[in-house]
Protein backbone atom coordinates (compact mmCIF):
# COMPACT_ATOMS: atom_id res chain seq x y z
CA UNK A 1 0.00 0.00 0.00
CA UNK A 2 1.40 3.33 -1.08
CA UNK A 3 1.06 6.15 1.42
CA UNK A 4 0.88 9.75 0.25
CA UNK A 5 3.27 12.21 1.79
CA UNK A 6 1.64 14.82 4.00
CA UNK A 7 0.81 18.11 2.23
CA UNK A 8 3.53 20.64 2.38
CA UNK A 9 2.41 23.84 4.11
CA UNK A 10 3.34 27.11 2.36
CA UNK A 11 6.46 28.79 3.51
CA UNK A 12 6.04 31.70 5.90
CA UNK A 13 7.17 34.15 3.25
CA UNK A 14 5.36 32.63 0.29
CA UNK A 15 3.27 34.91 -1.96
CA UNK A 16 0.02 33.28 -0.83
CA UNK A 17 0.80 33.82 2.82
CA UNK A 18 1.83 37.47 2.20
CA UNK A 19 -1.38 38.19 0.29
CA UNK A 20 -3.49 36.67 3.05
CA UNK A 21 -1.64 38.75 5.64
CA UNK A 22 -2.21 41.93 3.62
CA UNK A 23 -5.94 41.23 3.36
CA UNK A 24 -6.10 40.48 7.08
CA UNK A 25 -4.21 43.68 7.86
CA UNK A 26 -6.60 45.76 5.74
CA UNK A 27 -9.61 44.19 7.44
CA UNK A 28 -8.03 44.78 10.84
CA UNK A 29 -7.28 48.42 10.06
CA UNK A 30 -10.79 49.04 8.70
CA UNK A 31 -12.35 47.37 11.73
CA UNK A 32 -10.25 49.42 14.14
CA UNK A 33 -11.07 52.67 12.32
CA UNK A 34 -14.79 51.89 12.33
CA UNK A 35 -14.63 50.98 16.03
CA UNK A 36 -12.82 54.23 16.82
CA UNK A 37 -15.40 56.24 14.86
CA UNK A 38 -18.22 54.47 16.67
CA UNK A 39 -16.65 55.30 20.03
CA UNK A 40 -16.34 59.01 19.22
CA UNK A 41 -19.62 59.20 17.27
CA UNK A 42 -21.07 61.81 19.66
CA UNK A 43 -18.07 64.08 19.07
CA UNK A 44 -18.00 63.79 15.27
CA UNK A 45 -20.12 66.96 14.74
CA UNK A 46 -17.61 68.95 16.81
CA UNK A 47 -14.71 67.49 14.84
CA UNK A 48 -16.52 68.17 11.56
CA UNK A 49 -17.18 71.83 12.39
CA UNK A 50 -13.60 72.26 13.57
CA UNK A 51 -12.29 70.81 10.30
CA UNK A 52 -14.55 73.07 8.22
CA UNK A 53 -13.44 76.20 10.10
CA UNK A 54 -9.79 75.15 10.00
CA UNK A 55 -9.91 74.52 6.25
CA UNK A 56 -11.55 77.90 5.66
CA UNK A 57 -8.94 79.73 7.77
CA UNK A 58 -5.92 77.71 6.68
CA UNK A 59 -4.59 80.38 4.26
CA UNK A 60 -4.88 82.94 7.08
CA UNK A 61 -3.01 80.61 9.41
CA UNK A 62 -0.18 80.18 6.90
CA UNK A 63 0.13 83.94 6.37
CA UNK A 64 0.25 84.59 10.11
CA UNK A 65 2.79 81.84 10.63
CA UNK A 66 5.02 83.36 7.93
CA UNK A 67 5.36 86.58 9.91
CA UNK A 68 8.84 86.84 11.42
CA UNK A 69 7.68 87.95 14.84
CA UNK A 70 5.09 85.11 15.02
CA UNK A 71 6.98 82.35 13.20
CA UNK A 72 7.14 79.23 15.34
CA UNK A 73 4.74 80.50 18.02
CA UNK A 74 2.08 77.96 17.11
CA UNK A 75 0.43 77.90 20.53
CA UNK A 76 -0.03 81.67 20.61
CA UNK A 77 -1.39 81.75 17.04
CA UNK A 78 -3.77 78.88 17.78
CA UNK A 79 -5.01 80.57 20.94
CA UNK A 80 -5.64 83.90 19.16
CA UNK A 81 -7.51 82.34 16.23
CA UNK A 82 -9.59 80.07 18.48
CA UNK A 83 -10.49 83.00 20.74
CA UNK A 84 -11.49 85.06 17.70
CA UNK A 85 -13.79 82.29 16.47
CA UNK A 86 -15.34 81.95 19.95
CA UNK A 87 -15.99 85.70 20.15
CA UNK A 88 -17.53 85.78 16.67
CA UNK A 89 -20.09 83.24 17.86
CA UNK A 90 -20.55 84.26 21.50
CA UNK A 91 -20.85 88.04 21.05
CA UNK A 92 -23.82 88.02 18.62
CA UNK A 93 -25.61 85.42 20.73
CA UNK A 94 -24.98 87.44 23.89
CA UNK A 95 -26.23 90.64 22.20
CA UNK A 96 -29.34 88.85 21.00
CA UNK A 97 -30.06 87.36 24.44
CA UNK A 98 -29.50 90.74 26.07
CA UNK A 99 -31.89 92.41 23.66
CA UNK A 100 -34.44 89.65 24.22
CA UNK A 101 -34.12 90.07 27.98
CA UNK A 102 -34.62 93.81 27.60
CA UNK A 103 -37.82 93.22 25.66
CA UNK A 104 -39.06 90.39 27.91
CA UNK A 105 -40.89 92.72 30.32
CA UNK A 106 -42.86 94.40 27.53
CA UNK A 107 -43.63 91.02 26.00
CA UNK A 108 -44.99 89.69 29.30
CA UNK A 109 -47.18 92.76 29.73
CA UNK A 110 -48.52 92.33 26.19
CA UNK A 111 -49.18 88.65 26.86
CA UNK A 112 -51.16 89.45 30.03
CA UNK A 113 -53.19 92.03 28.14
CA UNK A 114 -53.94 89.50 25.41
CA UNK A 115 -55.23 87.03 27.97
CA UNK A 116 -57.58 89.60 29.49
CA UNK A 117 -58.68 91.65 26.46
CA UNK A 118 -57.66 89.75 23.34
CA UNK A 119 -55.78 91.14 20.34
CA UNK A 120 -57.25 94.28 18.83
CA UNK A 121 -57.77 94.06 15.12
CA UNK A 122 -55.47 96.49 13.25
CA UNK A 123 -57.04 99.07 10.98
CA UNK A 124 -55.15 97.72 7.98
CA UNK A 125 -57.40 94.63 7.97
CA UNK A 126 -60.44 96.77 7.20
CA UNK A 127 -58.62 98.34 4.25
CA UNK A 128 -57.68 95.08 2.57
CA UNK A 129 -58.51 95.14 -1.16
CA UNK A 130 -60.31 91.79 -0.90
CA UNK A 131 -61.41 89.44 1.87
CA UNK A 132 -61.66 92.20 4.47
CA UNK A 133 -65.06 91.09 5.72
CA UNK A 134 -64.07 87.43 6.10
CA UNK A 135 -60.78 88.27 7.83
CA UNK A 136 -62.53 90.72 10.17
CA UNK A 137 -65.17 88.15 11.11
CA UNK A 138 -62.53 85.50 11.81
CA UNK A 139 -60.46 87.95 13.85
CA UNK A 140 -63.43 89.02 15.96
CA UNK A 141 -64.40 85.41 16.62
CA UNK A 142 -60.93 84.07 17.44
CA UNK A 143 -58.56 86.84 18.49
CA UNK A 144 -60.52 89.90 19.59
CA UNK A 145 -62.11 88.05 22.55
CA UNK A 146 -60.26 87.43 25.85
CA UNK A 147 -57.92 84.52 25.20
CA UNK A 148 -57.59 83.22 28.75
CA UNK A 149 -60.15 80.49 28.18
CA UNK A 150 -59.15 79.63 24.62
CA UNK A 151 -57.81 76.10 23.96
CA UNK A 152 -54.53 77.55 22.66
CA UNK A 153 -53.88 79.45 25.88
CA UNK A 154 -54.79 76.43 27.98
CA UNK A 155 -52.29 74.41 26.00
CA UNK A 156 -49.57 76.93 26.87
CA UNK A 157 -49.97 76.04 30.55
CA UNK A 158 -50.09 72.31 30.03
CA UNK A 159 -47.66 69.47 29.71
CA UNK A 160 -46.70 70.54 26.18
CA UNK A 161 -44.83 73.60 27.48
CA UNK A 162 -42.92 71.51 30.02
CA UNK A 163 -41.99 68.97 27.36
CA UNK A 164 -40.88 71.71 24.99
CA UNK A 165 -38.81 73.32 27.74
CA UNK A 166 -37.05 70.05 28.56
CA UNK A 167 -36.27 69.34 24.90
CA UNK A 168 -35.07 72.88 24.32
CA UNK A 169 -32.87 72.78 27.42
CA UNK A 170 -31.38 69.43 26.41
CA UNK A 171 -30.63 70.71 22.90
CA UNK A 172 -29.10 73.89 24.29
CA UNK A 173 -26.81 71.92 26.62
CA UNK A 174 -25.81 69.61 23.79
CA UNK A 175 -25.13 72.59 21.53
CA UNK A 176 -22.89 74.15 24.19
CA UNK A 177 -20.99 70.88 24.59
CA UNK A 178 -20.48 70.55 20.83
CA UNK A 179 -19.32 74.17 20.66
CA UNK A 180 -16.85 73.65 23.52
CA UNK A 181 -15.36 70.48 22.06
CA UNK A 182 -15.24 72.17 18.65
CA UNK A 183 -13.10 74.98 20.10
CA UNK A 184 -10.76 72.47 21.75
CA UNK A 185 -10.42 70.50 18.51
CA UNK A 186 -9.89 73.70 16.52
CA UNK A 187 -7.13 74.80 18.89
CA UNK A 188 -5.35 71.45 18.47
CA UNK A 189 -5.62 71.66 14.66
CA UNK A 190 -4.29 75.22 14.59
CA UNK A 191 -1.49 74.28 16.96
CA UNK A 192 -0.41 71.47 14.64
CA UNK A 193 -0.07 74.12 11.95
CA UNK A 194 1.28 73.44 8.46
CA UNK A 195 2.79 70.19 9.67
CA UNK A 196 -0.71 68.70 9.78
CA UNK A 197 -1.45 69.48 6.13
CA UNK A 198 1.90 67.99 5.12
CA UNK A 199 1.16 64.77 7.02
CA UNK A 200 -2.32 64.49 5.50
CA UNK A 201 -1.02 64.96 1.96
CA UNK A 202 1.78 62.47 2.57
CA UNK A 203 -0.72 59.91 3.86
CA UNK A 204 -3.03 60.49 0.89
CA UNK A 205 -0.14 60.01 -1.56
CA UNK A 206 0.94 56.82 0.15
CA UNK A 207 -2.59 55.40 0.23
CA UNK A 208 -4.05 56.62 -3.07
CA UNK A 209 -1.15 58.00 -5.08
CA UNK A 210 -0.75 61.49 -6.48
CA UNK A 211 -4.38 61.56 -7.63
CA UNK A 212 -5.51 61.00 -4.05
CA UNK A 213 -3.49 63.98 -2.82
CA UNK A 214 -4.90 66.20 -5.58
CA UNK A 215 -8.41 65.05 -4.73
CA UNK A 216 -7.86 65.95 -1.08
CA UNK A 217 -6.66 69.41 -2.07
CA UNK A 218 -9.70 69.96 -4.29
CA UNK A 219 -12.04 68.87 -1.49
CA UNK A 220 -10.39 71.41 0.81
CA UNK A 221 -10.82 74.07 -1.89
CA UNK A 222 -14.49 73.10 -2.19
CA UNK A 223 -15.03 73.52 1.54
CA UNK A 224 -13.17 76.85 1.50
CA UNK A 225 -15.20 78.12 -1.44
CA UNK A 226 -18.45 77.01 0.16
CA UNK A 227 -17.61 78.83 3.38
CA UNK A 228 -16.83 81.97 1.41
CA UNK A 229 -19.98 81.65 -0.66
CA UNK A 230 -22.28 81.07 2.30
CA UNK A 231 -20.73 83.27 4.98
CA UNK A 232 -19.51 86.23 2.92
CA UNK A 233 -22.66 86.43 0.81
CA UNK A 234 -24.81 86.00 3.93
CA UNK A 235 -23.04 88.88 5.65
CA UNK A 236 -23.51 91.02 2.55
CA UNK A 237 -27.24 90.25 2.41
CA UNK A 238 -27.59 91.00 6.11
CA UNK A 239 -25.80 94.34 5.75
CA UNK A 240 -27.93 95.48 2.80
CA UNK A 241 -31.20 94.37 4.38
CA UNK A 242 -30.18 95.82 7.75
CA UNK A 243 -29.77 99.17 6.04
CA UNK A 244 -33.18 98.70 4.42
CA UNK A 245 -34.73 97.94 7.82
CA UNK A 246 -33.30 101.17 9.23
CA UNK A 247 -34.57 103.23 6.30
CA UNK A 248 -38.03 101.64 6.45
CA UNK A 249 -38.32 102.29 10.19
CA UNK A 250 -38.25 98.69 11.43
CA UNK A 251 -37.25 98.61 15.13
CA UNK A 252 -33.96 96.98 16.15
CA UNK A 253 -32.69 97.17 12.59
CA UNK A 254 -29.10 96.19 13.49
CA UNK A 255 -30.17 93.09 15.41
CA UNK A 256 -32.62 92.12 12.68
CA UNK A 257 -29.87 92.59 10.09
CA UNK A 258 -27.69 90.20 12.08
CA UNK A 259 -30.51 87.64 12.16
CA UNK A 260 -30.96 88.12 8.42
CA UNK A 261 -27.23 87.54 7.82
CA UNK A 262 -27.36 84.26 9.74
CA UNK A 263 -30.51 83.18 7.90
CA UNK A 264 -28.98 84.18 4.55
CA UNK A 265 -26.13 81.72 5.13
CA UNK A 266 -28.77 79.03 4.67
CA UNK A 267 -30.18 78.80 1.15
CA UNK A 268 -33.53 80.56 0.70
CA UNK A 269 -34.00 81.34 4.43
CA UNK A 270 -33.49 85.11 4.33
CA UNK A 271 -37.03 85.78 2.94
CA UNK A 272 -38.48 84.42 6.18
CA UNK A 273 -36.90 87.34 8.05
CA UNK A 274 -37.47 90.28 5.74
CA UNK A 275 -40.99 89.10 4.86
CA UNK A 276 -41.75 89.05 8.59
CA UNK A 277 -40.45 92.61 8.86
CA UNK A 278 -42.56 93.61 5.85
CA UNK A 279 -45.65 92.09 7.46
CA UNK A 280 -44.93 94.09 10.62
CA UNK A 281 -44.75 97.27 8.56
CA UNK A 282 -47.96 96.28 6.78
CA UNK A 283 -49.72 95.77 10.12
CA UNK A 284 -48.56 99.22 11.21
CA UNK A 285 -50.24 100.74 8.17
CA UNK A 286 -47.08 101.67 6.22
CA UNK A 287 -48.04 99.69 3.14
CA UNK A 288 -45.62 101.42 0.76
CA UNK A 289 -42.61 100.73 2.98
CA UNK A 290 -43.73 97.13 3.44
CA UNK A 291 -43.97 96.53 -0.30
CA UNK A 292 -40.69 98.35 -0.93
CA UNK A 293 -38.86 96.27 1.71
CA UNK A 294 -40.24 93.00 0.36
CA UNK A 295 -39.34 93.88 -3.25
CA UNK A 296 -35.84 95.05 -2.28
CA UNK A 297 -35.28 91.91 -0.22
CA UNK A 298 -36.30 89.58 -3.02
CA UNK A 299 -34.06 91.43 -5.49
CA UNK A 300 -31.07 91.15 -3.14
CA UNK A 301 -31.71 87.46 -2.45
CA UNK A 302 -32.27 86.68 -6.15
CA UNK A 303 -28.98 88.27 -7.17
CA UNK A 304 -27.06 86.69 -4.29
CA UNK A 305 -28.51 83.18 -4.66
CA UNK A 306 -28.46 82.92 -8.46
CA UNK A 307 -25.38 84.90 -9.44
CA UNK A 308 -22.95 85.81 -6.65
CA UNK A 309 -23.00 82.67 -4.50
CA UNK A 310 -22.79 80.09 -7.33
CA UNK A 311 -19.92 82.05 -8.91
CA UNK A 312 -17.93 82.15 -5.65
CA UNK A 313 -18.47 78.48 -4.86
CA UNK A 314 -18.27 77.22 -8.44
CA UNK A 315 -15.13 79.17 -9.34
CA UNK A 316 -13.18 77.70 -6.43
CA UNK A 317 -14.36 74.15 -7.10
CA UNK A 318 -15.01 74.36 -10.87
CA UNK A 319 -18.45 72.88 -10.31
CA UNK A 320 -21.52 73.60 -12.45
CA UNK A 321 -24.29 75.60 -10.80
CA UNK A 322 -26.61 72.58 -10.60
CA UNK A 323 -24.06 70.49 -8.72
CA UNK A 324 -23.39 73.39 -6.34
CA UNK A 325 -27.11 73.71 -5.62
CA UNK A 326 -27.62 69.96 -5.21
CA UNK A 327 -24.55 69.71 -3.00
CA UNK A 328 -25.72 72.49 -0.66
CA UNK A 329 -29.36 71.42 -0.41
CA UNK A 330 -28.71 67.68 -0.38
CA UNK A 331 -25.91 68.04 2.14
CA UNK A 332 -28.13 70.09 4.44
CA UNK A 333 -30.90 67.51 4.11
CA UNK A 334 -28.55 64.62 4.93
CA UNK A 335 -26.09 66.04 7.47
CA UNK A 336 -27.83 69.17 8.78
CA UNK A 337 -25.98 72.48 8.88
CA UNK A 338 -22.63 70.73 8.56
CA UNK A 339 -23.84 69.26 5.28
CA UNK A 340 -23.85 72.73 3.72
CA UNK A 341 -20.06 72.41 3.51
CA UNK A 342 -19.76 68.63 3.13
CA UNK A 343 -22.16 68.46 0.17
CA UNK A 344 -20.13 70.60 -2.29
CA UNK A 345 -16.95 68.75 -1.28
CA UNK A 346 -18.57 65.42 -2.14
CA UNK A 347 -19.88 66.87 -5.41
CA UNK A 348 -16.28 67.87 -6.18
CA UNK A 349 -15.19 64.26 -5.65
CA UNK A 350 -17.96 63.11 -7.97
CA UNK A 351 -16.90 65.61 -10.63
CA UNK A 352 -13.23 64.62 -10.40
CA UNK A 353 -14.04 60.90 -10.67
CA UNK A 354 -16.28 61.54 -13.68
CA UNK A 355 -13.61 63.66 -15.37
CA UNK A 356 -10.97 60.96 -14.84
CA UNK A 357 -13.34 58.26 -16.12
CA UNK A 358 -14.19 59.97 -19.42
CA UNK A 359 -10.61 60.92 -20.28
For 266-294, what is each residue's pLDDT tens digit?
777 889 999 999 988 887 778 889 899 99
Q: What is the 3-state secondary structure (H, E, C) of 108-151?
A: HHHHHHHHHHCCCCCHHHHCCCCCHHHHHHHHHHHCCCCCCCCH
What does the mean pLDDT of the chain come to? Answer: 78
Q: What pLDDT score was predicted for residue 33? A: 85
Write the pLDDT tens digit of every residue in 137-179.
777 776 666 766 655 555 555 555 567 667 777 777 888 888 8
Q: What pLDDT score was predicted for residue 184? A: 92
Q: What pLDDT score was predicted for residue 5? A: 57
In this prediction, residues 77-105 reach a mean pLDDT of: 80
| Percent of residues in the chain assigned helix, strand, coil, to nearest 5 | 85, 0, 15
Q: What pLDDT score was predicted for residue 40? A: 86
Question: What distance in Å separates the CA atoms of residue 144 and residue 36, rounded to the nearest whole number?
Answer: 60
Q: What pLDDT score was predicted for residue 243? A: 93
Mean pLDDT is lowest, of 133-137, 260-264, 288-292, for: 133-137
Write the pLDDT tens digit of every residue in 303-356.
888 788 777 776 666 667 777 778 878 888 888 878 887 887 788 778 777 776
More confident residue, 221 or 111: 221
More confident residue, 239 or 2: 239
Q: What pLDDT score was predicted for residue 130? A: 67
Q: Please check the confidence at residue 26 and state whether its pLDDT lies above 70.
A: yes
Q: Which of 189, 216, 237 is nearest to 46 (CA)?
A: 189
pLDDT-based confidence at residue 2 (cuts at 50, 70, 90): low
Write the pLDDT tens digit of every residue in 55-90.
888 888 888 877 777 776 888 888 889 999 999 888
Do the beta carbons of residue 329 and residue 281 sit within 8 Å? no
In this prediction, residues 245-255 reach a mean pLDDT of: 86
Q: What pLDDT score was predicted for residue 231? A: 83
Q: Please check the confidence at residue 7 and state whether its pLDDT lies above 60.
A: no
Q: Which of 250, 237, 344, 226 is nearest to 301 (CA)?
A: 237
Q: What pLDDT score was predicted for residue 298? A: 93
Neighbouring residues of 243: CB distance < 8 A, sequence distance ≥ 6 = 253, 257
In terms of C-beta density within 10 A (0-12 exposed, 13-18 middle, 19 or more buried), how is residue 199 classed?
A: exposed
Do the beta carbons of residue 290 and residue 309 sit within 8 Å? no
Q: What pLDDT score was predicted for residue 157? A: 54
Amino acid sequence: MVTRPPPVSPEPDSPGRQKAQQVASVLLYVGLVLLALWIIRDFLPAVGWACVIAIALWPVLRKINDRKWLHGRTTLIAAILTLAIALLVVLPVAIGLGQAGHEAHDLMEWFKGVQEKGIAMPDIVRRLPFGAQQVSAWWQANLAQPLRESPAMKGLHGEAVMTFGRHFGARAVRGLMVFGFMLVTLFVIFQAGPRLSGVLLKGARRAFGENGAQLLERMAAAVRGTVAGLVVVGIGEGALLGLAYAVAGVPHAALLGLVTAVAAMLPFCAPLVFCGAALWLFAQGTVAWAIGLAVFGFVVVFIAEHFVRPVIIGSSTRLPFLLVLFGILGGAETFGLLGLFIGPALMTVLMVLWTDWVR
